[in-house]
Structure 1
Amino acid sequence: MNLSAIDDLKPYAVGLAQQLIQFPTENPPGRDYHNCAEFLKKECETLGLETEIVQVEATDRYNVLAWTSTRKTDLHFHCHYDVVPAGHGWAYNPFSGSIVDGTLYGRGSSDMKGGIAAVFTALKAVQNLEDISISVSLTPDEETGGALGAEYVVKNQLVDTKMAVLPEPTGLKTMFNACKGALWVQVTVHGEAGHPSVKGLGVNAFDRMVVIASRLQKLKEIVEHKKSALHSYPEGGEWANLTLGGRCSSGEAVNAVPGQALFTIDRRTLPEEDLETAQQEIRECIGKDAEITVLMEARPFHIDEQTDVCQLLNTASETVMRTSVNCALCPGFLDARHFVHAGIPCVTWGPGIYGNAHISNEFIRIEDMMTAAKVFYVMATTTT
């Protein structure tokens, strides 16, 4: 196994990552998806992969699928090409792909266009793609839950594989074999608008909201004493969470009794919990005093460290980095959940730093990207 051949592909890997960063695929709202998907399709074809684009009906969402010889494969690489909005505070153009001292800067460099470049570099290093059994999906909308990306691909059985890997940023030393779940809820409290100059005119929805929120604060204290038995990376993610008021609004004007108020709840569940129970606790706490709308549900998961995909990644890591990779719980929710709940064992591992993903001046170290490419190459060439 000649891993030095991958070192020779560094210009390709860096150039590809830069080109991907230059597509401003910000989500929301979902910019430049079609152009990026077409570029990825052509790149897959250049590598020698069979490729197609599947457009989600009546949307501008495009899923790119590629495979070696048959669509039923031993190993699948799942990637997302959308990124969070660039925001402010950058020292470099967030969509230029600037390189400074061996570090590539740009929105999506770490999450996860550098990971995509690592996968493609690994496949480019394979002399004969017919000798391996690999498929790849490149999807949108991961940053907003993945309903029209990973979830769509899995639900419509567009991927048929024994195991999957997501090249999200984990710092190379950690693989996520578990992730927390999420329940996003909007609570709408109704009152009756009125003029504030006369006592008793109107029913203040804000006052009602405060009472409900105070009850939820007591539930929050109970929830946040729950701790997973799994190790979390980064530390602190092993605790359950309940966050109130990520969005909050009330009334229409200063000089009016608010007739409606609303706020959101973000409940993060542990793999040992289930979403149904978490939702029931919230409903019981609120009672009939408000309207409850579920905005998003993401089920947690945990796969055993002895699962084949975990063992394959560790074997490849030991070959390339001379060390194994620690299994950990991801505090966020991952596209991997869609695969796991469909019966496809899936882990998340890749170049880039987890806490660096959505910040200004997001970056990836080029050497880390090349190390990941070597690990992916070993995985791809030893599954058959």
Structure 2
Amino acid sequence: MSHPSFTSDPVALLQDLLRCRSVTPADDGALSVVAHALEMMGFEVTRLAFGPEGEQTPNLYARLGTGKPCLCFAGHTDVVPPGEGWSCDPFAGDIKDGHIYGRGTADMKGGVAAALAAVARRLEAGPLKGSLAFLITGDEEGPARYGTKSVLEWMKERGEAPDFCVLGEPTNPAEMGDVIKIGRRGSMNVVITVKGVQGHVAYPHLADNPIHRLVPILSDLTSRTLDQGSEWFAPSSLQITSVDVGNPATNVIPATAQARVNIRFNDLHTSESLRNWIGDVVSYHAPEATMEVAVSGESFLTDPGAEVEQLSEAVQVVTGRKPKLDTGGGTSDARFITHCCPVAEFGLVGATMHKRDEHVSLASVEQLTQVYLEFMHRFGV
């Protein structure tokens, strides 16, 4: 694998990353590109693999310096599958009409490349005043069981605790400088299974229709307004994502009815409080029903204090736009990082992420590099 000669050039770094077919859970050398760039800059790089033998998730943690403050750049090099219908090779890093194309340009190899290039430029300007770190995982687009979360546990055991973290997810809906994310909603999935007794629809007294108990459960859940939102968060949302009875016949009462529910919740709730509420509703209508709950993450908010203001100022200096502080969208690895240190997210424009012909402008990659560099100066490293 080739490596870019000048790590201060974010486009060269991004092309090298794009040419790695790191469709989760594969790495295909992507973390080696990052490690090589960091080692060229003098970082102590630790490659970390977590998970079952033969199915381990590749990760990386790197540190330069021991002083305070310590700023960490975080991100991921894995990408979603490209799908069909691209006008170019999704793993070639083609440049045309001022844009760079490839799976992961926006989400989020572009953010990783910009952070690496910004740090290279910072080191060219003189010695660090504090210290820098990188936390890069190869498992964010997948289950995320043995990625950032496991690295943070490893860091905690060794007393590694950055003072602030910037996660380079694509936060901008349309233009560079639109949005800095300072929090995320929590997310949980609930599977409700109601069992009955199968039978003929003409003889309902000989059967027990589980749908008749599942429907009022779902009616109660969807009729409640969870909240009106809070200072930094939109209202929480409960959505039914599936109702299934596995019944192809029109004259059979099914034996089982199952529903899947997702809740995106703000800081007025916890997964435990929502679990208890749903459990009470289920028990009221169907005492024998079962409920499986999987929590992707709790809601969190980073105090919009000095560090967030410094990042906002850096964005405004480079882009000319004052970014909105926001908590919308899906989940990210910031939900794990928040337990280690304050974290904010700022990256590229995400309009084409996960789409065919994913691309970003070359100008935006350079802008992001400059934002990170400006923030480092303001943060004091």
TM-score range, shorter chain: 0.7 to 0.9
Q: 1:31-50 deviations in whole A, cap 9, x for unaligned?
A: 32363333332332233321
Q: Contact between 1:34 and 1:61, CA under 8 Å: does it hold in 2?
A: no
In 2, the alpha carbon distance for the partners of 1:361 and 1:176 equals 25
Counterpart of 2:99, as a letter, is T
Q: 1:172-228 deviations in whole A, cap 9, x for unaligned?
A: 322111221111111122223446676555433344433322222223xx12x5223
In 2, the alpha carbon distance for the partners of 1:36 and 1:297 equals 26
Q: Contact between 2:8 and 2:116, CA under 8 Å: does it hold in 1?
A: no
Q: Contact between 1:299 and 1:337, CA under 8 Å: does it hold in 2?
A: yes
Q: How does 1:218-257 map to 2 (within 5 A)?
A: 218-219=223-224, 222-223=225-226, 226-230=228-232, 238-245=234-241, 247-251=242-246, 253-254=248-249, 257=253
In 1, the alpha carbon distance for the partners of 2:372 and 2:223 equals 47
Q: 1:326-360 deviations in whole A, cap 9, x for unaligned?
A: 32222322322222233x1110011123x432333
In 1, the alpha carbon distance for the partners of 2:213 and 2:86 equals 42
Range that drifts further, 159-168 or 310-319: 310-319
Could you list the structure 1 runs, at least 4 aligned residues long, displaced by more than 4 angstroms after superposition. Answer: 8-11, 194-202
What is the aligned partner in structure 2 of residue 328 from structure 1?
326
Q: How many residues in Structure 1 have an aligned counterpart in Structure 2?
A: 361
Cα distance 1:32–1:151, how it changes in 2: closer, same or farther (>3 A)?
same
What is the aligned partner in structure 2 of residue 348 from structure 1?
345
In 2, the alpha carbon distance for the partners of 1:11 and 1:127 equals 9
What is the aligned partner in structure 2 of residue 42 from structure 1?
36
Q: Contact between 1:111 and 1:352, CA under 8 Å: does it hold in 2?
A: no
What is the aligned partner in structure 2 of residue 181 from structure 1?
186
Could you tell me which runs of 5 or more consecutive residues in structure 2 were left unpaired when the two chains were aligned. Answer: none
Q: Contact between 2:58 and 2:139, CA under 8 Å: does it hold in 1?
A: no
Range that drifts further, 161-170 or 124-133: 124-133
What is the aligned partner in structure 2 of residue 13 from structure 1?
10
In 2, the alpha carbon distance for the partners of 1:248 and 1:106 equals 37
Q: Contact between 1:350 and 1:372, CA under 8 Å: does it hold in 2?
A: yes
Deviation at 1:86, TM superposition (A): 2.6
Counterpart of 1:204, as a letter, is N
2:50 pairs with one of 51, 56, 76: 56
Range that drifts further, 136-145 or 362-371: 136-145
Q: 1:80-117 deviations in whole A, cap 9, x for unaligned?
A: 12223333443333333332311222222111111011
In 2, the alpha carbon distance for the partners of 1:74 and 1:118 equals 18
Cα distance 1:188–1:38, how it changes in 2: closer, same or farther (>3 A)?
farther
What is the aligned partner in structure 2 of residue 267 from structure 1?
263
**Cα RMSD, aligned residues only:** 2.9
Q: Contact between 1:228 and 1:272, CA under 8 Å: does it hold in 2?
A: yes
Q: 1:330 aligns to what SS in structure 2? A: coil
What is the aligned partner in structure 1 of residue 19 from structure 2?
22
Deviation at 1:151, TM superposition (A): 1.7
Q: Contact between 1:69 and 1:130, CA under 8 Å: does it hold in 2?
A: no
Q: Contact between 1:178 and 1:271, CA under 8 Å: does it hold in 2?
A: no
Q: Percent same amino acid among aligned pairs?
A: 25
In 2, the alpha carbon distance for the partners of 1:89 and 1:203 equals 49
In 2, the alpha carbon distance for the partners of 1:207 and 1:251 equals 15
In 1, the alpha carbon distance for the partners of 2:373 and 2:338 equals 23
Provide TM-score, normalisation by structure 2.
0.84
In 2, the alpha carbon distance for the partners of 1:149 and 1:338 equals 10
Q: How does 1:83-102 map to 2 (within 5 A)?
A: 83-102=79-98
Counterpart of 1:228, as a letter, is S
Q: How does 1:56-75 map to 2 (within 5 A)?
A: 56-58=50-52, 59-70=55-66, 74-75=70-71
Counterpart of 2:48, as a letter, is V
Q: Contact between 1:71 and 1:160, CA under 8 Å: does it hold in 2?
A: no
In 2, the alpha carbon distance for the partners of 1:329 and 1:375 equals 20
What is the aligned partner in structure 2 of residue 160 from structure 1?
161
Q: 1:31-70 deviations in whole A, cap 9, x for unaligned?
A: 3236333333233223332111111142420111111134
In 2, the alpha carbon distance for the partners of 1:296 and 1:266 equals 10
In 2, the alpha carbon distance for the partners of 1:74 and 1:331 equals 28
In 1, the alpha carbon distance for the partners of 2:357 and 2:260 equals 29
Q: Contact between 1:249 and 1:263, CA under 8 Å: does it hold in 2?
A: yes
Deviation at 1:318, TM superposition (A): 4.1
Q: Contact between 1:73 and 1:160, CA under 8 Å: does it hold in 2?
A: no
Counterpart of 1:278, as a letter, is L
Cα distance 1:123–1:209, how it changes in 2: closer, same or farther (>3 A)?
same
In 1, the alpha carbon distance for the partners of 2:112 and 2:34 equals 10
In 2, the alpha carbon distance for the partners of 1:293 and 1:71 equals 46
Q: 2:87 aligns to what SS in structure 1? A: coil
Counterpart of 1:152, as a letter, is S
1:209 pairs with one of 207, 214, 230: 214
Q: 1:64 aligns to what SS in structure 2? A: strand
Deviation at 1:161, TM superposition (A): 0.7
2:75 pairs with one of 64, 76, 79: 79
Q: Contact between 1:61 and 1:140, CA under 8 Å: does it hold in 2?
A: yes
In 2, the alpha carbon distance for the partners of 1:108 and 1:77 equals 17
Provide TM-score, normalisation by structure 1.
0.83
What is the aligned partner in structure 1 of residue 171 from structure 2?
170
